[in-house]
Structure 1
Amino acid sequence: MQVWEKFKRLWKHYIFQSLLASLSILVLVLTVGENKVVIIASMAATAFICFAMPTSVSAQTKNVIGGHIAGLVCGALLTLTALPYYAEFPLAVGLTILLMVALDFEHAPAAGTALAVTINEVTLTVAVIVIISAILLTQCRYYARNILKDLI
């Protein structure tokens, strides 16, 4: 019954914040196209964090932007190696996690960004789109902070 009570109390926020997340992903999909689905997936996870749990540490601007930059850097560096995919993919994720926790940029979806970069060998255009998307998501969260509620 607790779930139902919470839903009755916050149903407008559930709908509004879900629509904000959906619109942000729509803009990203229209920008990068369907070929970069792994990048879109990591940004969708970021949208969830920014709009469903906007006051969480992981939704903070420095964590979202810093985490995705860490993922881009680690993934890009590993694409320059001659490692087989079964070494490259897990190393991209592991190194991104190491960099994020060392620099205090914890943002779980950024590990997905690192994996996406190693799978797709990201271009400069896609890297810029990821960074701009992270900035836009955090700015939407920031400017809507007075109306967004933690839904988790």
Structure 2
Amino acid sequence: MIHLYKLKQDWTHYTFQCFLAVLSIGIIVFVLGVEKVVIISSLAATAFICFMTPKSHFAQTLRVLGAYIVALICGAVFQFIHLPAIAEYPAVVGIVMFLMVVLDFEHPPAAGVAIAVTINEVDYVAVAAIMLSIIVITQLRYYLRHWLKDLV
């Protein structure tokens, strides 16, 4: 269903919240470069969740940060376990999902970062950029939480 009525009423929220997502992903692409597609895809999904559904359970700061930390650690561990990709990628995603649920850090886009680390798409600069990006996105959501609304 097209939400033209909602758009007409809340065009400032739609515009501003989409601008926040576009700006954050633009900065991430500038810092990481266009070749880090798995990471950029995961962070874009995080930006969508945090800025389009800021009141969501999955957009909470602790869950987002915790999920990305779990994903980075699991991906790093799987770099040293040499399995065929057909077994390794599903295994790392499954373990990350299990740990996110057990530790109460549910944030689905973080699972993509675990694959990125496993396939060596991530170096120390990328890890720092990922964590800085997550901190900026979650802090923007937190400090603007009284103004942001769920658009979905």
Moved over 4 A (4+): none
Deviations 1:39-84 (A, max 9, x none): 0110000000010000101000001110111111111111111111
CA distance in 1, matches of 2:131, 2:29: 15
Structure number with higher helix proportion: 1
Identity within the alignment, %: 53
Paired residue type of 1:95: I
**1:121 CA displacement:** 4.5
- RMSD over aligned CA atoms reads 1.3
Unmatched runs of 5 consecutive residues or more in structure 2: none
The equivalent residue for 1:96 is: 96
Give the TM-score taking structure 1 as reference length.
0.95
Report how many residues are paired. 152
**1:119 CA displacement:** 2.2
**1:6 CA displacement:** 1.7
Question: Where does 1:1-152 land on structure 2 (aligned, <5 Å)?
Answer: 3-152=3-152
Paired residue type of 1:38: V
Task: Please say if residues 79 and 120 of structure 2, whose CA atoms lie closer than 8 Å, have aligned partners that are also in contact.
Answer: no
Paired residue type of 1:140: L
CA distance in 1, matches of 2:121, 2:23: 27
**1:120 CA displacement:** 2.9
Give the TM-score taking structure 2 as reference length.
0.95
CA distance in 1, matches of 2:73, 2:42: 15
Deviations 1:97-138 (A, max 9, x none): 011001000001011111121223421221121111111100
